[in-house]
Structure 1
Amino acid sequence: MAAQPEPTATMPPATADSPQVQALVSYLEHEAQPMIVLDPDYNILAANTAYQRQFGTADRPYLGHKCYRVSHHYDLPCDQAGEHCPMKRAFELKGPDRVLHIHHTPRGPEHVDVELRPILDGEHRVVAYVERLTTVRHASARPRQAGLVGRSAAFNAALEAVQRVARSQLPVLLLGESGTGKELFARAVHEASDRHDGPFVVVDCSGLPETLFESELFGHERGAFTGAQHRKQGLVETAAGGTLFLDEIGDVPLGMQVKLLRLIESGTFRRVGATETQQADFRLVAATHKPLLQMVAEGSFRQDLYYRIAAFPIHLPPLRDRSADIPMLVDSFLQRGARTGQRIAVQAAAMARLQAYDWPGNIRELRNVLDRARLFADDGVVRPEHLPDWLNAAARPDAATPAPAPGDAELRRLLADGRLSRREMAARLGLSERTLYRRLKTLGLG
């Protein structure tokens, strides 16, 4: 957000019709991103057209309401409800604060990147706040057909790091176990960057023998080696204007690491067999499941290369640290593999087993288990007996007790409130009506 002009005279507390708020609204109307003005007591005083278009509806009042009630449906500020409150932090800093939250929107729960800036008077007192809201399009807080899905604290921390670094040009290093979704996170960095219209090029470093690595990466000239019948463009050239994703960079042969370092440091390269140097133009994202610092100590990975690629490391959580996301991931995977019009449900006892398992193979292993279970669910319901024997044997003894799914507490609150129809309730929770009815039945509320 552009820096706000600081008043030079003492200002009274802001109100919706005060001159300073009206001036702010006039200024914010030129902003393409949704923005609101808040007073120090969390009340929404004004909103620009972009906010009204994206977050406001006729049955969704917000002016004069508390921001935490509108965005979170909380009765208390975020910090008192167990979340980071940017207003509290901005007040303490007398400066901006930024956080990734899950907001309730007309479309259901969504990840929203929130940036809050205080407006100070001439005596350095906070009289109002301006909040910019950016919806995260490359991840979903609801089940969906493709891409990143999750809303657990561990998932949100990784997603927030992506949002922080995406618009910069810093190299990003994704660290995590196999199967944690490193390519999806790399693509999220690309899609949130200024290079999102350019290509996203994947280099599988583990699948390339050393004899082919240089040719694949840099390309080659005709006749450069036996079998080089034509000039070939390398993946570095293919990534021009976009992002180059080096997957499993820990597997790059030591002999190639120095050439990779030269590419990153100089931004230039030569095709194999060529004499002229070419300029590279890509954003680097790398990933590995290997302990690179240990490899540096052992001499199998260059220290100088490590420091070039690790400017902004992001640790991706294993699935065992985000078990609350499993019901949403399960729903997403079953949707992705279903035939048109087909819906597959998971019995509560089966879901409890899925949440009780540690998933050493992470999301990839979960997807494989669900692809198998789907074949046994002739009536459209996955039961414990449809899961592999080894998974049932490895589940904790209490796995037969259904684990609470994310959103159960919110579901109970909406039912007790009684103001929404089942259709409206499903939309609020980001569920289909059919999924809502199944969840109500499981909880004994239907």
Structure 2
Amino acid sequence: MRILNAQIRNNAELVDIQIEGEKINSITPSSLRSETDNRSDDYDAAGRIATPQFAEAHIHLDYANTEGVPRVNTSGTLFEAIGIWADRKAQGFHIKADIKAKALAAARRAAEHGVGFIRTHVDVTDPTFAGFEALAELRDEVRDWCEIQIVAFPQNGIYAYEGGDKLMIDAMTAGADVVGGIPHLEPTRDDGVASLKWLFDLAEKHSKPIDVHTDEIDDAQSRFVEVMAAEANKRSMGEQTVVSHSVAMAYYSPGYMARLLPKLAASNIRFAVCPNENLHLQGLGYNGPIPRGVAPVKQLTEWGIPVSFCQDSLNDPFYPMGDADPLRILDSGLHVSHMLTANHLDTPFDFITTNPAGNLGLADYKIAENTPANLLIIDAPDEKTAVQRKSAVLLSIHRGKTVISRQPAEVKWGL
């Protein structure tokens, strides 16, 4: 397959991208192509941007499309959502076949928006392992068009939930790709710290990365992010360590942030931030001014700390909306982080391509010769315009094969 007349980052002229098998074989200036050089498998990008496939670094596919059962979240709070999810499991609604079907629908929706790689957190504080088994099967079945990583996620805690630690061990033994955690929901601060040390031990034992729900709470005293950085630094696991959410950072004092940010940068840890969902869940109960409850992405980025913007949930007790469209999340993230300046708008796709790819441990995540052919053509001439217009993905290629394609939207005026 050959893509003609594509615009790629840091290249002033249009290029032709030749794909052979699963790799990009060559990238050449379009101006050098002969007018008579036409092939049946050519795709004319017509000056539109080519970019690596989007990567979704934090989502809960086992929760997808479950909103309203067994009841709706009337308060909109995180803690009511956790209670509803626990009731769903206890009341027999958590069924493997149903979970798998709903998760597949969510994964397909993401793929339609150009996502080719997903890291999904899967609740393993469920002795039936229905969610884990459903997603493990799905991981294998969709591999041709989407590569899924499974995080063993103890939604109800490893100490707060009886037997939670054993279930985590079982999940890793059964083939989970990543160790998850949720220290701020453990019974005490000391229990939360102990849980993180235990989880890092588990990750080291299985030679797996770690991705922890960290400080997802409106509490300036929730400071497990510093423990994450310290453990990662001590074990030389920074590049394999992801801090997810960390909304409490939005409440930290300037003095504490001044001490914390250098430690985070030195540890080489990475962040996954879910702006839409945490704008919805956080800040409830305040009379005003209402805090945004989103990690300080701009400060993290200025310190060279990689941040990914992520969906988190799709139509579930935690978030009744969501379309799995990374461009929508990117737009919200840039707005809430005060990053609509030229130095950020030139390369905003980093938040939904290279940065999340780094979270997932993916190498060569770029459009270059001899790299995997995982790329998109987007109906826009540049990244800023794509974000501004929420431009459609016209072509998505995974491992050299077309996953989805669509025609550009056509508008007809009646006047």
Greater RCO between the two (CA within 8 Å, min separation 6)?
2
Q: TM-score, normalised by structure 2?
A: 0.30
Q: Would you tell me which structure has more helix in proportion to its own residues?
A: 1
Q: TM-score, normalised by structure 1?
A: 0.28
Point out the structure with max Rg over C-alpha: 1
